[in-house]
Structure 1
């Protein structure tokens, strides 16, 4: 794949209106589990979007703080889906993805509830989505409490020390789109073709690493993950999954083990190198040894967790054929 030549045709242009490209149908899926104050700010920012053809779906993972009732009251225009229990991040999002795709979405935004988006976010993401190989479009995420400091602009694999690290390189608004290795799931636009060719999120994970897993499958399908520097949002970072909790590190270890079982030719060596370095950096160098037991417990769980099949969706043609029968 000649990435360099692909990028020439997608050099961003200043967007005044959308008359130069189609108003693709975009559905935004926000997953919630408590923390309604964050959800309120997120949904309020979505109300200010200037793109004309979008819908918002909130999928609630059995919140116990009254989130569903308050969403219905404060945001009656939002479609609310209530799960009977906490399905986890991938399965929870997949509920919303399926709903959006069944209702004709051309693209679906996976959005964390602890974010606030720029009013022109969708204009820029949809513009970039016109690239014929676009699979995932990734905006630049800034820290909510430091609004000019980049939190993430996608991710890449670093061979030594081994790690998947977030890109923080600042780009100018007129720069070409960047081809990325990984999409960070705080806010990404996933095209319909990406779902049809690579499937939905892997429900083997409960939370963490599911966005990295999807990124690998998108690239294996021959599609691109494109960083869109013009598109911006602000992220509060780990409001629901507190990084100072044993559960966070247990899930980190569990998901990392699942990821390398899925995608590495030498999974056990990859786990030793990557997760071993990670443990040295996070637990020993930072003197957080008390998190080593839950991290190791999670790795053990990930090593024996049965791997589920990737959830698939039916393409438009398949649905049309079924209706014709």
Structure 2
């Protein structure tokens, strides 16, 4: 049975993280290690995560019932500066997957790409994993989500990256992500399949696509160069990785029988409370992705600027239409 390392990045979000952990510790897949990397949180996250593992902090969720049976959870705690040749103690290896946690404390906020890369390198060097799953801390998983993805990955050696269908946490039957498609002529050129559609409209099976979101991305470790691009602090790392893997001849697939729920925008809200700052930061990141994959990106830049400027007008017209429609009822 393939071994999976599940990497969760935490930054000032312990409440989301322990809900995510509790859902993970109740899955039906038996062979996994959970690695939580803390990006120098200032909200007491480390202490709260320790308290949860001790069984002294219960988790409330509409998606599952809290389970005390696997508490206390044994923690193997490290810092990013002490990872060289550090392996899990034998007594920790002998524990069931839902009874242990690897906690790595980063000395700074390294962002999404570099922060996760620390965990990826540790999983490759010390855990010898067959798969690595990057999972957002603001997600909750279904019990069979990992088992269903691994089954698909093991059936086809040319599948390189796998993702689940992702629904909104607040509206659990509505889709946020069912695979990603690229369109270099429509800003921001990476687009969600099935967004805001009802889950019942999507059948079970596989959706072959161009990219998988970093909110939940399962990667085979026998692929070369699976680290995220450190050029990206937060945003486009997942698209960049998916495109690299696909360009190397591997398939990218969303498994519609595998499901999680996502609190959309939690990380973005924490990273910047100023909308205008976020818009320009997002534009810079998107253009960096474009520069890497399209040499003629400067020729397309006027089209993107026009589309960006047109978006507020489009939203205004949509809102006016909604007001007029409601008033006519």
Query: Which residue of 2 is the match for residue 305 of structure 1?
Result: none
Query: Which residue of 2 is the match for residue 150 of structure 1?
Result: 175
- The answer to whether the aligner puts 1:128 opposite 2:106 as a matched pair is no
Query: Which residue of 1 is the match for residue 233 of structure 2?
Result: 206
SS at match of 2:162: strand
SS at match of 1:200: coil
- The answer to whether the aligner puts 1:167 opposite 2:193 as a matched pair is yes
* Contiguous gaps of at least 5 residues in structure 2: 54-72, 74-99, 317-329
Q: Deviations over 1:100-144 (max 9, x none)?
A: 111111001110011000010110110111111111101000000
Report the TM-score when normalising by structure 2.
0.75
CA shift in 2, pair 1:213/1:161, >3 Å: closer
Q: Decide which of 159, 174, 179 is 2:208's aligned counterpart.
A: 179
Residue 254 (structure 1) shift: 1.8
Residue 54 (structure 1) shift: 0.5
In 2, the alpha carbon distance for the partners of 1:114 and 1:251 equals 22
Q: Decide which of 240, 250, 256 is 2:286's aligned counterpart.
A: 256
Task: Judge which range, 50-59 or 76-85, deviates more.
Answer: 76-85
Residue 72 (structure 1) shift: 2.1
How many residue pairs get matched? Answer: 260
Whether contact under 8 Å (2:181, 2:209) holds in the other structure is yes
Residue 159 (structure 1) shift: 5.5
In 1, the alpha carbon distance for the partners of 2:226 and 2:242 equals 11
In 2, the alpha carbon distance for the partners of 1:276 and 1:26 equals 44
- The answer to whether the aligner puts 1:58 opposite 2:39 as a matched pair is no
Show structure 1 runs of 4+ deviating over 6 A. none
Q: Deviations over 1:189-222 (max 9, x none)?
A: 011123x2x3310001110111111111011111
Q: Decide which of 69, 92, 116 is 2:140's aligned counterpart.
A: 116
Residue 78 (structure 1) shift: 1.3
Whether contact under 8 Å (2:185, 2:300) holds in the other structure is no
Q: Decide which of 187, 192, 203 is 2:221's aligned counterpart.
A: 192
In 2, the alpha carbon distance for the partners of 1:125 and 1:138 equals 7
Q: Decide which of 82, 86, 89 is 2:105's aligned counterpart.
A: 82
Report the TM-score when normalising by structure 1.
0.76
Query: Which residue of 2 is the match for residue 298 of structure 1?
Result: none
